[in-house]
Amino acid sequence: MLGYNMSMKSGEFDRLRRLMVDAQLISRGISDKRVLDAMSKVPRHLFVPERDRAAAYEDSALPIGSGQTISQPYIVAVMTELLGLKGGERVLEIGTGSGYQAAVLGLLAGQVFTVERIELLARGAEKTLQELGYRNIKILSGDGSLGLESEAPFDGIIVTAACPEIPPPLLDQLADGGRLVTPVGERHHQVLIRAEKQKGRIVASDTIGCVFVPLLGKFGWHEPGSP
């Protein structure tokens, strides 16, 4: 896995990635060693447009086209740590984007399913992940707010777009003992929520404030002009 060709700049990218983990993640309380190891390995610069690669390891979100962004590294780490993955789990991601979050999950879980509504982004992420050697990530196009009933239940579900409320299908598709992490709130400000299914009951807690692009779909926000 991660068998990409090394370039003259790869050493500098490796240095910046190590600095990202030390300065942005460990220093801010990320302590799950498996999460830190995964983010030390995934080449984030390959998941952003070439013009932005020099900024790939900075503490900020970056545009990836189609009005979407790749989340800042710290938020990726927080959301992944909240899932509490131990290895071997089946995980659903809503909002593939560039594929970076899926790549991190792919190093931590047994199987990752990821749904992206924008076909162009889905195909781009698929190409990048294939080139990096991932074989345990399946990308699908569609309305992520519906989840992926055909592959449920899931041990973990992560939503990388803002929801007005947690989409009911996602809660239904969460396995007992499973965890769901999603931003919930208004379009321009949300709170990251961690929900766990305990004997059929959902126990949810707020964590940190955040800002994500909106989740569009039947159980998300509606497209402008749609009913």
Q: Is 208 helix (H, G, I), strand (E, B) or coil?
A: strand
What is the widest separation between alpha-carbon atoms in the chain?
A: 53
pLDDT of 8 > 50? The answer is no
pLDDT tens-digit map of 121-176? 999 999 999 999 999 999 999 999 999 999 999 999 999 999 999 999 999 999 99
pLDDT tens-digit map of 213-222? 999 999 999 8
pLDDT of 179 > 90? The answer is yes
The residue extents of the domains of the chain are: 61-210
Angstrom distance (rounded) from CA 201 to CA 123: 36
What whole-number percentage of the chain has pLDDT above 90?
92
In this structure, how many other beta carbons lie within 10 angstroms of the beta carbon of residue 33? 8
Active-site residue identified among 31, 66, 71, 150 = 71
**For the packed helices 10-20 and 33-41, what is the interaxial angle rounded to 10 degrees?**
160
Which residue shows structure tokens 């777009």?
A: 161
pLDDT tens-digit map of 15-59? 999 999 999 999 999 999 999 999 999 999 999 999 999 999 999
CB neighbour burial string for 127-164, b if at least 16 within 10 angstroms, e if fewer: ebbeebebebbbbebebbbbbbeeebbbbbbbbbbbbb
Q: The domain 61-210: what is its CATH number?
A: 3.40.50.150
pLDDT of 226 > 90? The answer is no
Mean pLDDT, to the nearest integer, of 102-130?
Answer: 98
Q: Is 71 a catalytic residue?
A: yes
pTM exceeds 0.85 for this model = yes
pLDDT band of residue 194 (cuts 50, 70, 90) is very high
What's the confidence (pLDDT) of residue 224? 59
